[in-house]
Amino acid sequence: MSSNINKSPRRKWRGWLKSIIIFIIMFTIASTALEMWRNRHLNQMQVSAATQQAFTTIDGQKVDIFKDSYDQTVLVYAWATWCGSCKIVSPMINWINNQSWLNIKVVTIAMQSGDDRRLHAYLNMKGYDFPVVNINSNLLTKQWKLSRAPTILIIKNGKIQSTTAGLVTPPGLLARLAWVDMK
């Protein structure tokens, strides 16, 4: 009789564990499908001459996002100083920028976040050292159909391979980068 009592809690834990794993898998599938649907226009964006323009960072560095993507994968992070979710995602982007083993070029686009002096002060206060293109007009966000901050685009071989908008977890972003590199 004592052996039946010992098995019962194990069965309960196995049942709970199985339910949790199934929930995580279903949640991951559903959230991925929703994210793909919400950002379908970004994945289908035509890479026209207007979107292939070269930019200059607030430090004077020239970047050509689509041209550079033929040499290595480019992660474009559209964010803003006023964006609450960006305060969570930006440290992860900064970390990725500082990991040479990932072989990822990070280019960030600050949307409507003030002048270059203000952006420099913000970056210094936060300890961020990723390259920043300062865009204070709505032109680029309209051309690229960026509807929210933060938005992350992963570009390889001149094409947008993956997009995500809103909060993203470090494992989720690293998985997307690995998936794009395997293509």
CATH classification at residue 136: 3.40.30.10
How much of the chain, in percent, has pLDDT values that exceed 90? 48
| 62 and 120 part of one domain | yes
Query: In terms of domains, do 110 and 57 share one?
Result: yes
Indicate if 53 and 16 belong to the same structural domain.
no
- Which position has the higher pLDDT, 146 or 96? 96
Average pLDDT, the chain: 84
Could you give the number of structural domains in the chain? 2
Query: Which domain, by its residues, includes 14?
Result: 1-38
Same domain (yes/no): 31, 94: no
**25 burial level (CB within 10 Å; 0-12, 13-18, 19+):** exposed
Is residue 112 domain-shared with residue 135, that is, in the same domain? yes
Give yes or no: residues 73 and 156 share one domain. Answer: yes
Considering the domain architecture, whether residues 23 and 54 belong to the same structural domain is answered as no
Give the amino acid at 8.
S
> Can you give the pLDDT at residue 162?
85
Same domain assignment for residues 56 and 130: yes
- Tell me, letter by letter, the H, E, C secondary structure of 72-138: CEEEEEEECCCCCCHHHHHHHHHHHHCCHHHCEEEEEEEECCCCHHHHHHHHHHHCCCCCEEEECCC
Same domain, 86 and 128: yes
Q: List, for residues 106-119, the tens digit of each pLDDT value.
A: 999 999 899 999 99
Model pTM score: 0.76
Evaluate if residue 147 carries a pLDDT over 80. Answer: no
pLDDT tens figures, 17-38: 999 999 888 877 776 666 666 6
